Amino acid sequence: MTPVLLLEKLSFSFGGPVVLDHVDLSIAEGEFVGLVGPNGGGKSTLLKIVLGLLQPVSGRVEVLGLAPVRARSAMGYVPQFASFPRDFPISAEEVVLQGRLGHGRLLGGYRGADREAARLAMTETGVRDLRRRPIGSLSGGQLQRVLIARALAAQPRLLILDEPTASVDPRAETDIFDLLKELKTRMTILVVSHDIGFISHYVTRVVCLNRNLVCHTTSELTGEMIQQLYGAPVRMIHHEVNR
């Protein structure tokens, strides 16, 4: 089967030191992969290349067998932080409907199918009752669920999340990853996180990136491996997660 995401000998720099160096990665349909690594290790750059926002210096990148720019309609993206001001006069439902942009007509507003896709996404993420609320009134956890709903409204085959729980409390973090665990039954998921101990309870594979890339199944991870990745001692924290 064609991999959902394929990277071969991918390299990138911004004109100076190499940020990504001959990265190889293949993600199959239905995988739930965690991407970890130190700050400055190239995680955000890698996501931008997969999304078609940056072009690699060399190497190959395909999403569902296509160049990223041609596969955008099959991808859903959840940023680390909302890319709009929290006081912007827009409702939660209007944010979710943005996920339908590029999936229908360019002019004339949203169709009934777009509104139905947004309704289903908000119901699945548990924010349907917040649809009329202005985004400025939402908690951090509520806003992240709205952003996930926006990505799901696109009905993606590949869902990409950049540290989706960076600004939420531990309870909301668990709720969000429980939701992702359910979603992996129908889509492929790539999530960036700093919390290896937490995500290892959910993901099927951990991709460690620090300019170069190394893959491990969660059962293989040890404190020594993690210390080598980050280049400094790392304190492991045990998480109790109800699964």
Q: Which domains does the chain possess?
A: 5-230 (3.40.50.300)
Distance, in Å, from the CA atom of 165 to the CA atom of 92, rounded to the nearest integer, reads: 18
C-alpha to C-alpha distance for 36 and 169, rounded to whole angstroms: 20
pLDDT given for residue 192 in this prediction:
92
Nearest CA to 229 among 57, 43, 79, 14? 43
Buried b (16+ CB within 10 A) or exposed e, 143-165: bbbbbbbbbbbbbbbbbbbbbbb
Helices and strands: H and E segment counts in the chain: 7, 9
Which pair of structure tokens corresponds to residue 71?
Answer: 């596969």
**Mean pLDDT in consecutive groups of 10 residues from the start of the chain, 243 residues:** 93 92 94 89 93 95 96 92 75 93 68 92 94 91 91 95 84 88 92 82 88 69 58 46 45
Within 8 A by CB and 6+ apart from 126, the residues are 145, 179
pLDDT at 242: 46
Please state at what angle helix 140-153 crosses helix 170-183, rounded to 10 degrees.
20
Predicted local confidence at residue 200, as pLDDT: 81
Give the up-direction half-sphere exposure of residue 57: CA atoms within 13 A in the CB hemisphere.
14
Q: Quick one: how far is CA 110 from the chain centroid?
A: 25
Q: Note the pLDDT of residue 193.
A: 87
Report the predicted TM-score, pTM, of the whole model to 2 decimal places. Answer: 0.85
